[in-house]
Amino acid sequence: MSAVIDLTGVTKEYPGGVSALRGVDLRVREGELLAIVGPSGSGKSTLLHIVGTLDRPTAGSVAIAGHDVSALSDRELSALRAQHIGFVFQAFHLVPGMSARDNVAEGLLYCGLSAAQRRRRAAAALERVGLGDRMDHRPHELSGGQKQRVAIARAVVGEPDLLLADEPTGALDSRSGEEVMELIHHLNAEGSTIAVITHDREIGRSLPRRVEILDGRVVQDVTNRTQPAECGAGGGL
């Protein structure tokens, strides 16, 4: 399978001699589900920004979905993000006055679709994450777990090559967090390539692959012995 993420010798330095990343090599193939794990200050957030093309490395090469990031203008990088990368954040980032369907449809604004097409695809994405009965609810009418499902639906509605989930359970209670992780397993089983960025080692151990980062370096990259998630069983989604 082709690589969705291909980083070689990636370094990121900030003014004042701060090195956030130090020679990171990382290759993620199509269809993988992995955790990028590290404590605060380890460099994992910088790595997220580099992989998500929100920032450029100081040195090294970055290819996302087969595209050499160094060869792209800022406008082309924006197009790459819109077409190939979906983001899920701890804080949800939903528009307060908009319905779940319209929040998800926002993820298709730059895809050249009509408003009606965006709303139809948004409805299908909400069905996919188990919120078919909450399409007209606004964020204040949803639980934390439901808000995160809306955010995930928005991230996957455009069928990106890569889903980046940054601390997706960080703002949730334990049960809602488990349900969100079940959903992530389910989406991966359907073919999505997903990287979960987290400080939670338990989440790291629960995913098929665990990449540990410390002081800006990858210190461990291992395959975990995990049981397949029983997706869709017992109404878990």
Contact residues for 74 (Cβ-Cβ < 8 A; gap 6+): none
pLDDT of residue 10: 98
Strand order in the sheet with 162-166: 85-89, 162-166, 194-198, 33-37, 209-214, 217-223
Tokens 């139809």 sit at which residue? 120
Q: What is the dihedral of CA 223, 227, 228, 230, to 10 degrees?
A: -150
In angstroms, the CA 100 to CA 140 distance is 10
Domain count for the chain, please give it: 1
Instruction: Report if residue 37 sits inside a domain.
Output: yes
Q: Which domain holds residue 186?
A: 3-230
The closest of 138, 200, 215 to 170, measured between CA atoms, is: 200
pLDDT of residue 224: 85
Three-state SS at 220: strand
Tokens 């792209």 sit at which residue? 72
CB distance 4 to 86 below 8 Å? no
Instruction: Report if residue 106 sits inside a domain.
Output: yes
Instruction: Report if residue 93 sits inside a domain.
Output: yes
Instruction: Report if residue 144 sits inside a domain.
Output: yes
**Quick one: DSSP state of residue 108?**
G
**Which CATH number covers residue 97?**
3.40.50.300
| The two three-digit tokens of residue 144, written as one number | 């934390």
10-residue mean pLDDT profile of the chain (237 residues): values are: 94 93 98 96 95 96 96 93 93 95 92 91 96 96 96 95 95 94 95 96 95 97 68 36
The closest of 85, 108, 87, 76 to 161, measured between CA atoms, is: 85
Tokens 């269809």 sit at which residue? 31
Instruction: Report if residue 235 sits inside a domain.
Output: no
Instruction: Report if residue 95 sits inside a domain.
Output: yes
In angstroms, the CA 164 to CA 203 distance is 15
Dihedral angle sign, alpha carbons of residues 188, 192, 198, 201: positive
Backbone angles phi, psi at 201, to 5 degrees: -65, -30
pLDDT of residue 154: 95
